[in-house]
């Protein structure tokens, strides 16, 4: 599978030197939403610093060896589903010019060798790639250094082709209401639970959602994550919308997050998207071990490149703290687009139309 620019000649000859090639070989790299999203920002930074206009991406999955040893639950029998789940990540790269998905090892090796022979820019470099190793988690050192030099970092975009859908869906199905994306971690509900001690306290979140409904009845919470990762009592709340119950998937969720008024949730892949998408956010219960990778101290409230309406906490959340974070970040959130959303929805300031999960529609 490949997604190429409209002008095929643009990727031939000398024009190829205008792009950085990003190589994602899942025989040693991980199917991990947060790391893959951070890598997209790193690729955009590397391309910019080398004076390159574009990024081309090769995604390689060998059916005989579809995953790294630390993800042995991804096998030749189920790798397609896992790949399908994370593929929209690559379409969020702000400099993406082309995306090619490859599963034939000989073809992949020929393409990489040709690229290296022509001394064209590539990440990881050939030596690192041949060592078949990548360190995890992906750190923020390059991102912080770029911000220190330039005062900004590249922003992740909506998955290509989904922004217009997100705005139409928000205006019509969600009635133009203010949308707050939530993602309380629930690894214990998945088929491969991991470090479940970091899971969010659902009673705290349910009480928080109910309190916000009293003070901000127009706010609609959108619970994102895999179909197994949401708790079914959320369906009983008229101020909660669960995209997966409508057949929507990761690309739709990332697109909605990009245009949302706020994100609040556990440290996760969705939190990573919020971190680099310019969205107001409160990320809770950041793991202490990540602090050195982000060049932070535990209890620092912001990343070096964060804005005033983007905050972190480093401990399990309570209802009271969630409310405090919501009031702090939502009140500072840039909701200048709200009148335009209302105009598109045709509802003006009348935002009592709620998406009713029980009815399966608005």
Mean pLDDT calculated for residue range 59-84: 92
**Residue 54 banded pLDDT, cuts 50, 70, 90:** very high
| pLDDT recorded at residue 205 | 92
**Residue 192 banded pLDDT, cuts 50, 70, 90:** low
Enumerate domains of the chain plus CATH numbers: 2-150 (no CATH), 163-345 (3.40.50.2000)
Mean pLDDT calculated for residue range 333-354: 41
**Residue 4 banded pLDDT, cuts 50, 70, 90:** low
Mean pLDDT calculated for residue range 265-269: 91
pLDDT reading at 253 higher than 90 = yes
**Residue 351 banded pLDDT, cuts 50, 70, 90:** very low
Query: pTM (2 decimals)?
Result: 0.85
Contact 281, 330 (CB under 8 A): no
pLDDT reading at 250 higher than 80 = yes
Mean pLDDT calculated for residue range 346-354: 37
**Residue 101 banded pLDDT, cuts 50, 70, 90:** very high
Mean pLDDT calculated for residue range 283-293: 95
| pLDDT recorded at residue 333 | 58
pLDDT reading at 347 higher than 90 = no
| pLDDT recorded at residue 191 | 64
Written in H, E and C, the secondary structure of the chain is: CEECCCCHHHHCHHHHHHEEEEEEECCCCCCCHHHHHHHHHHHHHHHHHCCCCEEEEEEECECCECCCHHHCCCCCCCHHHHHHHHHHHHHHCCCEEEEEEECCHHHHHHHHHHHHHCCCCEECCHHHHHHCCCCCCCCCHHHHHHHHHHCCCCCCCCCCCCHHHHHHHHHHCCCCCCEEEEECCCHHHCCCCCCHHHCCCHHHHHHHHHHHHHHCCCCEEEECCCHHHCCHHHHHCCCEECHHHHCCCHHHHHHHHHHCCEEEEECCHHHHHHHHCCCCEEEECCCHHHHHHHCCCCCCCCCCCCCCCEEECCCCCCHHHHHHHHHHHHHHCCCCCHHHHHHHHCCCCCCCCCCECCCCEC
Determine the Cα–Cα distance for residues 51 and 307; give it in Å rounded to an integer.
27
| pLDDT recorded at residue 69 | 87
pLDDT reading at 102 higher than 90 = yes
Mean pLDDT calculated for residue range 218-235: 84
Mean pLDDT calculated for residue range 28-41: 95
| pLDDT recorded at residue 197 | 61
| pLDDT recorded at residue 339 | 39
**Residue 342 banded pLDDT, cuts 50, 70, 90:** very low
pLDDT reading at 50 higher than 90 = yes
């Amino acid at each position: 599978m490949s997604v190429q620019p409209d002008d095929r000649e643009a990727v031939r000859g000398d024009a190829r030197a205008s792009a950085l090639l990003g190589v994602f070989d899942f025989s040693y790299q991980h199917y991990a939403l947060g790391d893959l999203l951070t890598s997209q920002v790193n690729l955009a930074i590397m391309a910019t610093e080398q004076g390159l206009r574009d990024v081309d991406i090769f995604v390689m999955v060998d059916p005989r060896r579809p995953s790294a040893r630390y993800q042995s639950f991804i096998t030749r029998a189920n790798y397609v589903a896992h790949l399908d789940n994370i593929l929209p990540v690559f379409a969020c790269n702000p400099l993406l010019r082309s995306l090619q998905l490859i599963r034939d090892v000989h073809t992949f090796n020929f393409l990489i060798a040709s690229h290296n022979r022509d001394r064209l820019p590539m990440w990881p470099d050939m030596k690192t790639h041949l060592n078949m190793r990548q360190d995890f988690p992906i750190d923020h050192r390059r991102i912080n250094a770029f911000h220190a030099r330039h005062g900004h970092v590249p922003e992740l975009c909506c998955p290509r082709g989904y922004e217009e859908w997100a705005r139409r869906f928000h205006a019509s199905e969600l009635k133009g209401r203010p949308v707050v994306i939530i993602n309380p971690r629930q690894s214990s509900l998945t088929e491969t639970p991991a470090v479940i001690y970091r899971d969010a306290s659902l009673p705290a979140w349910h009480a928080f959602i109910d309190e916000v409904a009293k003070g901000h009845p127009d706010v609609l919470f959108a619970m994102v994550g895999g179909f197994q990762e949401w708790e079914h009592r959320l369906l009983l709340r008229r101020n909660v919308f669960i995209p997966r119950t409508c057949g929507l998937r990761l690309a739709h969720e990332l697109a909605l997050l990009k245009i949302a008024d706020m994100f609040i949730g556990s440290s996760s892949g969705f939190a990573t998207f919020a971190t680099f998408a310019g969205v107001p956010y409160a990320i809770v219960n950041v793991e202490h071990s990540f602090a050195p990778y982000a060049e932070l101290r535990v209890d620092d409230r912001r990343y070096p490149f964060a804005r005033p309406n983007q905050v972190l906490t480093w401990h399990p959340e309570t209802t009271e703290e969630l409310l405090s974070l919501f009031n702090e970040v939502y009140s500072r959130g840039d909701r200048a687009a709200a009148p335009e959303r209302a105009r598109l929805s045709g509802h003006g300031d009348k935002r009592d139309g709620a998406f009713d999960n029980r009815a399966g529609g608005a």
